[in-house]
Amino acid sequence: MISGQPLLSSSDSSSVVVNRRARSRNLGSFGCLCHKVSFSSSTFEETQADSLLKDQEDDGEDVLVGDTGFHLKPLRPVGPSLSSGTTKQGHSADCCFHQQFSVECPTQEQRSLVSWGSMELPDNNNTSTTFEISGASSIVQEKLNKSRRFHNKNVEFGDDPSCAEDPRLIYINDPRKTNDKYEFTGNEIRTSKYTLITFLPKNLFIQFHRVAYLYFLAIAALNQLPPLAVFGRTVSLFPLLFVLCVTAIKDGYEDWRRHRSDRKENNREAAVLHSGEFRLKKWKKIRAGEVVKIFADETIPCDMVLLRTSDPSGLAYIQTMNLDGESNLKTRYARQETASSEFEGSAISGLIRCEQPNRNIYEFTANMEFNDQKFPLSQSNIVLRGCQLKNTDWILGVVVYAGQETKAMLNSAISPSKRSKLESYMNRETFWLSIFLLVMCSVVALGMCLWLRRHEEELDTLPYFRKRYFTTGRDNGKKYKYYGIAMETFFSFLSSIIVFQIMIPISLYITMEMVRLGQSYFMIEDKHMYDSNSDSRFQCRSLNINEDLGQIRYVFSDKTGTLTENKMEFRQASICGKNYGNSVLMVDSQEEQDITAASVGRRRWKLKSEVPVDNELMKLLHKDLAGAEELAAHEFFLTLAACNTVIPMRTQRSISDVARSHAQEDVGAIEYQGESPDEQALVSAASAYGYTLCERTSGHIVIDIHGEELRLDVLGLHEFDSVRKRMSVVVRFPNNTVKVLVKGADTSMFSILAEDTEKDHQTKCATHSHLTEYSSQGLRTLVVAARNLADSELEQWRCRFEDASTSLIDRNIKLRQTAALIECDLNLLGATAIEDKLQDGVPEAIEALRQAGIKVWVLTGDKQETAISIGLSCKLLTADMQQIIVNGNSEDECRNLLADAKTKYGVQSSNRRYQNSERKRNVENGYLDKPYGIKSSNELQCHDRKEERIGCALPLALIIDGNSLVYILEKDLESDLFDLATSCRVVLCCRVAPLQKAGIVDMIKSRTDDLTLAIGDGANDVSMIQMADVGVGICGQEGRQAVMASDFAMGQFRFLKRLLLVHGHWNYQRVAYLVLYNFYRNAVFVLMLFWYILCTAFSTTSALTDWSSVFYSVIYTSIPTIVVGILDKDLSHRTLLEYPKLYGTGHRHEAYNLQLFWITMIDTLWQSLVLFYIPLFTYKESSVDIWSMGSLWTIAVVILVNIHLAMDIKRWVFITHVAVWGSVIITYACMVVLDSIPIFPNYWTIYHLIKSPTYWLTIFLIVVVGLLPRFLVKVVHQIFWPSDIQIAREAELLKKPPNRSKPDQGSS
Rounded to the nearest 5 percent, the helix, strand and coil shares of the chain are 45, 20, 35
Contact of 742 with 726, CB cutoff 8 Å? yes
Label the pairing between strands 855-859 and 986-990. parallel
Specify the length of the chain in residues: 1308
How far apart, in whole angstroms, are the C-alpha atoms of residue 351 and residue 369?
A: 5
For 1039, the 3-state DSSP assignment is: strand
Closest among 146, 59, 58 to 97, alpha carbons compared: 146
How many CB atoms neighbour CB 36 within 10 A? 16
| Residue 63: closest CA among 888, 831, 961, 862 | 862
Crossing angle of helices 1253-1280 and 1186-1208, rounded to 10°:
30
DSSP output for 871-921 = HHHTTSS-TT-EEEEE--SSHHHHHHHHHHHHHHTTPPPHHHHHSSHHHHH
Catalytic residues: 558
Residues 303, 410: Cα–Cα separation, whole Å: 12
DSSP string spanning 379-402?
Answer: GGGEE-TT-EEES-SEEEEEEEE-
* Contact predicate 72/90, CB 8 Å: yes
Which region, left, alpha or beta, applies to residue 585 given φ > 0 means left and ψ of -120 to 50 means alpha? alpha
Rounded to 5 degrees, φ, ψ at 659 are -100, 15
How far apart are the C-alpha atoms of 932 and 1304, rounded to whole Å? 10
Residues 436 and 708: their CA atoms lie apart, in Å, by: 88
The amino acid present at 397, given as its one-letter code, is: G
Asked if 600 and 665 count as a contact pair (C-beta separation under 8 A), the reply is yes
Tally Cβ neighbours within 10 Å of residue 907: 28
User: Helices (DSSP H) in 659-790: which residue ranges?
Assistant: 677-688, 746-749, 758-776
**DSSP states of 401-464:** E-GGGSHHHHT-PPPPP---HHHHHHHHHHHHHHHHHHHHHHHHHHHHHHHHHHTGGGTTTSSS
Q: How many CA atoms lie within 13 A of 1201 on its CB side?
A: 31
333 forms bridges with which residues in the sheet?
Answer: 315
Report whether 838 contacts 866 (CB < 8 A).
no
Residue 925 three-state SS: helix
Contact by Cβ (8 Å): 769, 823? no
Element of type H or E holding 278: strand 277-282
Strands (E), 1159-1308: none
Backbone dihedral angles phi then psi of residue 549, each to the nearest 5 degrees: -65, -20
State the alpha helices, DSSP H only, in 994-1061: 994-1007, 1022-1027, 1041-1044, 1055-1058
Give the strand pairing for 604-607 and 578-580: unpaired
Rounded Cα distance, 220 and 1134, in Å? 49
Q: Measured between alpha carbons, how far is 134 from 1124 in angstroms, rounded to an integer?
A: 64
- Residue 281, strand partner residues: 270
Q: How far is CA 80 from the centre of its chain?
A: 43
